[in-house]
Chains A and B, each alone.
Chain A
Amino acid sequence: MSQATPTIPKAEASNRGLRAALRSFLAQPIWIFLLAEILFFSLMPGSRDTFLSTGNLLNVLLQSTFIGVIALGMTYVMINGEIDLSVGAMMALAASLSVGLQSELGLIPAALVGLASGVALGFFNGVVTFKTGVDSFIVTLGAMLGIRGLVFVYTQQDSFYSMDFAYSDFGLSRIAGIPTLALIFLALAIILHFVLTSTRHGRNAYAVGGNRDAALNAGVRTGRHVLINFALLGGLAALSGILLSTQMGASTPTMGNVYELWVITAVVLGGTKLTGGYGSIVGTVGGVLAIQILRNGMNLLQVQAYWVQVIIGAMLIAVLLLDQRSSASGDEVRA
Chain B
Amino acid sequence: MHTSPTPTTHWRERIADLLRDRGILVAFALMMIILGLTVDRFATSENILAVIRQVSILGTIALGVTFVVIGGNLDLSVGSMLSLATVLVVDLHDKIGPGPAIAVTLVVTLFAGAVNGTLVGFLRLNSLIVTLGMLSVLQGATLLYSGGKNVDIANQSDTWFSIFGRGRLISAGGIDINVPVVLFLGLAVLMGILLHRTSFGRKVFAVGGNRVASTFAGLRASRIVFSTYLLSAFSVFVGAVILGSRVMGSQNTVGQTWELQVLAGIILGGTSLLGGSGSIFKTVIGILIFGFINNALLLLGFPFYAQWLVTWIVIILVVWLDVASKRGKLWAA
Contact = CB atoms under 8 A, between A and B. Distances in A.
A142 B140 contact: no
B333 A223 contact: yes
A137 B129 CA distance: 13
Nearest to A83: B128
B85 interface: no
A311 B257 CA distance: 20
Given A144-B260, A153-B309, A304-B144, A320 B129 contact: yes
A152 B305 contact: yes
Nearest to A268: B129
B11 interface: no
Given A265-B136, A274-B128, A306 B148 contact: yes
A149 B305 contact: yes
Interface in B263-321: 263-264, 267, 273-274, 303, 305-309, 311-313, 315-316, 319-320
A132 B273 contact: no
Contacts of A144: 260
Interface string B124-154: 1110111011111111110110011000000
Contacts of B141: 306, 310
Residue from B148, B260, B305 whose CB has the most chain A CB atoms within 10 Å? B305
Interface residues of B, number: 57
Given A304-B144, A309-B137, A310-B144, A150 B309 contact: yes
Interface string B203-233: 0000000011001100111100000000000
A150 B310 CA distance: 11
Contacts of B144: 304, 306-307, 310
Interface stretch (B42-50, B155-163, B243-251, B323-331): B323-331
A160 to B, nearest CB: 17
B119 interface: yes
Question: Do most interface residues of chain A lie in helix, strand or loop, or is the interface mixed?
Answer: helix
B332 interface: yes
Nearest to A137: B273
Contacts of B140: 306-311, 313
Chain A interface extent, by class: 35 or more
A133 B323 contact: yes
Contact of A274 (B126, B133, B212, B333): B126
A223 B332 CA distance: 10
Contact of B119 (A142, A261, A308, A317): A317
A146 B331 contact: no
Interface string A46-59: 00000000000000
A148 B123 contact: no
Interface of B: 119, 123-126, 128-130, 132-141, 143-144, 147-148, 211-212, 215-216, 219-222, 256-257, 260, 263-264, 267, 273-274, 303, 305-309, 311-313, 315-316, 319-320, 323-324, 327, 331-333
